[in-house]
Homo-oligomer: A and B are copies of this chain.
């Protein structure tokens, strides 16, 4: 069983708010935040269309912002909350950042990092899944339904 902090749902709700902001900008609705010592130190949503940049995923922007905030590029005592399972790019970045923990909303069977072996994550990174999974998945589903 995954470990669930009492505050995971609260922080995922905040990440979900970010995902909704992306939705409202016609971006694939994914939101992320990074928490250190119970404080949100970075929040971001997907901006690949707005910035015309495939690397501008919510997780990447959050990692860059958290490192700037902390003044150090490693995040071993931080938790990333993200509404959708990170892709390989983001998992690779989270590995370099040595993030302590990742909390994931909905799984991404097509592009999620868990399809890849060995895991692209750092071996010390803890992973919790399924927090607000339905709401997070529904948002992405609605986004793509509107596109068809």
Count of this chain's copies in the oligomeric assembly: 2
Please list the 6 inter-chain residue pairs (A to B) with the smallest Cβ-Cβ separation, ordered nearest first: A89-B92, A88-B92, A54-B96, A88-B120, A89-B93, A116-B116
- Which listed residue (B72, B96, B97, B116) contacts A117, Cβ 8 A? B116
Q: A77 at interface (Cβ–Cβ under 8 A)?
A: no
A55 → chain B closest CB, angstroms? 5
CB-contact partner of A88 in B68, B73, B74, B88, under 8 A: B88
Q: Which residues of A contact B (CB under 8 A)?
A: 48, 52-55, 60, 63-64, 67-68, 71-74, 87-93, 95-97, 115-118, 120
Q: Which of A72, A91, A116 has the most CB of B within 10 A?
A: A116
